[in-house]
Structure 1
Amino acid sequence: MSNLVTARLSEKNIGIVFGCFAPCHLGHFNTIMQAKRENDACIVVVCGQPGDRGEAVGLDLRRRFRYMRELFAEDEKIVVTELDETGMPLYPNGWTEWLEAVQSIVKATMVSSAEKLTWYVGEKEYITELEVRTNDFIRFINRQELPISATLIRENPYKYWRYIMLPFRRVFSMNILVLGTASGGKSTLVKDLGRYFDSPYTDEYARRYEEKYNVRDEELAINDFNYMGAGQFENNKNAIISPMNKGLMFADTDVLVTKVYTKYYCSPQEYAQLAPSFDLLIAQQQWEIIFVIPPITPYVNDDFRDMSYADETSRWHLHQLFMAELEAHQLLEKVVMLDQKGNLETDSQGFYARYEAAKKHVQNHVHNKSGIWID
């Protein structure tokens, strides 16, 4: 049950934990658990201001607050609050102003004054400042018992992945997109890479949508493209936030691809209606690598695809539309072209060669970012 609308706390013994949580990790979680279990309830104060160290990695204050609320959504003994420190003197100054703001938050969270407040801190200088300004109890947390920090995670999230609390992992996930025209082998490539790296992967939502509603490419209307774009976005998002995500995720197409197909099949007027909503979703997608497979293999008639665009000229035109859209969204620096030719005797269409090239590129990329080589 969500604690989104939980009434104010009426408990008498309250633990207080504050921090930036950029990101929240197992050390933070253990401290919050201690504060909750040694008291009747716990108030968590998520602190920050515009331009802080969290925002630098895509975790602004509001996002951190929301992820902490998500983390403790089913815990009625933990109330997550937010403190915007804008206008306050920067640490180590401003203790008086900061403490007054936190005390106001605590008061607003309580039905009546608590009989006992206990602060849980991991810095000894915090003890000194709080002892001077309050009569509350203070518990010092020895961080060496679990030697992890948000700084270490920000510097190398893949290395310390298991310490990152689940709602925050999405920000650090290395998401890898594979796109291309039909019959290029992208769907099989995504599956094979996902299975090799033991990572979540997605399918092409448009294909699933068409099969579910028994509609062919040439029969699609503007509403269909709208649903398919949103569906592909959710499809990829669910894989990114999945507990199975260990730092790598592979996607078979994205909203940008849906946008291009909308331009291809719909009238200019219909395309103009949907393009802005597609652009909003495209801006939210974060791709580490974009593998592009050009139309260098024969088009396969599976009795489902639209064969009126199966000729080589049409396929290359669609490929160029993909590249133009990638350029328009300033994504070309992420692109890795998979156009490898295979051994004529054993790999005449190059499917294995492109799989090996993609696999090695991912291995090298992860190693360069984290220092870890994944076999």
Structure 2
Amino acid sequence: MKYVANLTKEDLSGDKIGVFFGTFAPLHVGHQAEIYKAAALNDGVLVVTSGYTGDRGEQIGLPLLKRFRYLRQAFADEWQIKVDYLNEDGMPKMPDGWDVWLEKLIVTIKRNIVNKKARITFYTGEEDYKREIEKRLGHDPQYAVSLMDRTILNISATKIRKHPLKYWDYINRVFRRHFVQKVLVMGASNSGKSTLIRRLARSANSPFSEDFATIYQEESNVADSEMDIKDYSNVIQGQYQANSAEINSPANNGLAIFNGDAIGLQAYSNLLLNPEERLQLAHLYNTTIKAEEMDLILLIPPFNDPKRKIIRKTGAAIDSQSYHKELLRLIDFYGFSDKLVILDAKNQPNDPAGYYARYLQALDAIEEHTSFDIEHHE
């Protein structure tokens, strides 16, 4: 099937058009079931997300325009379903705003359909909404209202907002990215960081990212001490994209664990580049770190293990103690100290290097600082 252009989707054609409206904070399988029902019973469906500044969606970080973009992506491959939004800013609050809101909704509908005289059916799950629309449009044969059957899929956006991981399977995959718990593991080169990340992620059956800097340096044939501004810029953006790919992965079960971020890279570049070069990268670091929004940072401090196998030799450009101090400084500078857990669990006689102790401490930290539950036994 030919992919349907998302940003240039054609106006809906036909004599019967369904209109499904709501806040969609977030879109869930109950919404989808009714939207697909409307699509089966009509020639096309217009999905309209509405809201205002400070609404219940924005209160959880899903403002109106973000919901609109997510919805448009969710139905990008559906030629029969088109998405638009209705901004309620400046309107009287409900129930006083019904006249203005409905008038604006009809304008929104008309600009998205070819046949302006098509039969319009509104789909809603609220008795009050049905009554208010019929009160205003019931005399016009062009319009009808259909009440959704909520008993088919008994889920609500309110339940999801309160307990997203509990109702994870009901959240549309595009919207899941907003609710994922993001855990970053940091540490100097050859600290066992990658191994710990892999084992934590597999213990939770969750996706994890690779250290993009290692991949980039191998492919570009460049050591730590040889990296310039262009290299760091490529790695900053590459690591962000690698982390984003895991967030958007179908394997995402509500937890994603990352092997690298902009703070870790900035700590490296601060120790290896001159002040002028660091200044040139500052804006990219700031914008990327702001967008990453980590929920938990696990930091492996320097430790001694004479039996440890050195895997990444390029990490010898700086010593682990200096890197650790710079990481702590940057974490505090960006205001993330409250999200930091230093993996400094005491060694046991049968675990002299502390690998298992750090693993258990990391599992406990994830359970304590996120809403994701990993069943494990000490």
Whether the TM-score (by the shorter chain) exceeds 0.5 is: yes
Q: Distance in 1 between matches of 2:269 and 2:335?
A: 20
Residue aligning to 2:289: 282
The offset of 1:203, in angstroms, is: 1.1
Q: Superposition RMSD on alpha carbons, in Å?
A: 1.5
Which residue, 271, 277, 282 being the options, matches 1:270? 277
Match of 1:83 in 2: 86
| Residue 236 of structure 2: aligned partner | 229
Question: Partners of 2:315 and 2:247 in 1: how far apart?
Answer: 31
> Is contact 1:183-1:297 (8 Å) kept?
no
Shift of 1:115: 2.7
Contact kept, 8 Å, 1:340 with 1:353, in 2: the verdict is yes
Number of the residue aligned with 1:296: 303
Offset, 1:10: 2.2
Among 62, 67, 83, the residue aligned to 1:64: 67
The CA distance in 2 between the partners of 1:124 and 1:162, in whole Å, is: 27
Query: Does the 8 Å contact 2:27/2:172 carry over to 1?
Result: yes
- Greater CA deviation, 27-36 or 112-121? 112-121
Cα offset for 1:341?
Answer: 2.8
Give the match for residue 53 of structure 2: 50
Structure 2 gaps of 5+ residues are none
1:348 to 348, 352, 355: 352
Structure 1 stretches of at least 4 aligned residues deviating more than 6 Å after TM superposition: none
Secondary structure of the residue aligned to 2:341 is strand
Q: Do structure 1's residue 143 and structure 2's residue 150 form an aligned pair?
A: yes
Quick one: distance in 1 between partners of 2:223 and 2:211? Answer: 15
2:362 aligns with 358
Write the letter of the residue equivalent to 1:353: A
Question: In the TM superposition, what is the alpha-carbon distance from 1:193 to its structure 2 partner?
Answer: 0.4
State the secondary structure of the residue aligned to 1:305: helix
Distance 1:209 1:231 in 2: 9
2:265 aligns with 258
Q: Find the counterpart in structure 1 of residue 34 from structure 2.
A: 31
Match of 2:190 in 1: 183
Maintained 8 Å contact 2:189/2:312: no
Equivalent residue number for residue 250 of structure 2: 243
CA distance in 2, matches of 1:92, 1:29: 27
- SS of the aligned residue for 1:146 comes to coil
Q: Secondary structure at the match of 1:249?
A: strand
Structure 1, unmatched stretches of 5+, are none
Q: Does 1:315 align with 2:308?
A: no
CA distance in 2, matches of 1:248, 1:307: 32
> Structure 1 residues 113-122 or 149-158, which shifts more?
113-122
In structure 1, what is the Cα distance between the partners aligned to 2:235 and 2:77?
32
Question: In structure 1, what residue type is equivalent to 2:321?
Answer: W
Percentage identity across paired residues of the two chains:
36
Residues 291-314 of structure 1: CA distance to partner in whole angstroms, max 9, x if unpaired? 0111113485447324353xxxx3
Deviation per CA, 1:113-141: give whole Å up to 9, x if none: 14311111101111111111113111111
How many angstroms does 1:36 deviate by? 0.9
- SS in structure 2 at match of 1:109: coil
Distance 1:279 1:240 in 2: 21
What letter matches 1:292 in structure 2?
Answer: L
Question: What displacement does 1:364 show?
Answer: 3.9
Deviation at 1:55, TM superposition (A): 0.6
1:52 is paired with a residue whose SS is coil
How far apart in 2 are the matches of 1:280 and 1:253?
Answer: 16
The aligned residue for residue 335 of structure 1 is 340
2:189, 2:315 within 8 Å by CA — same for their partners in 1?
no
CA distance in 2, matches of 1:374, 1:91: 45
Q: Give the 3 Å change call, closer, same or farther, for CA 146–133 of structure 1 in structure 2.
A: same
Greater shift, 48-57 or 110-119, is seen at: 110-119
Structure 2: distance between partners of 1:302 and 1:98: 62
Q: 2:117 & 2:45 partners in 1: Cα distance?
A: 12
1:365 to partner: Cα distance: 4.1
Q: Which moved more, 1:61-70 or 1:316-325?
A: 316-325
Q: 2:23 matched to which residue of 1?
A: 20
Deviations 1:150-187 (A, max 9, x none): 11011010100000101111111011110011121111
Q: Does 1:40 find its partner at 2:43?
A: yes
> In 2, distance between residues paired with 1:304 and 1:315?
13
Contact kept? 1:301, 1:307, Cα under 8 Å: no
In terms of mean alpha carbon deviation, does 73-82 or 138-147 score higher? 138-147
* Aligned mate of 1:120, from 115, 119, 123: 123
Distance 1:307 1:81 in 2: 53
CA distance in 1, matches of 2:353, 2:6: 56
TM-score by length of 2: 0.94
AA aligned opposite 1:204: D
Map of 2:6 onto structure 1: 3
Paired residue total: 367
C-alpha distance in structure 1 between counterparts of 2:263 and 2:312, whole Å: 26
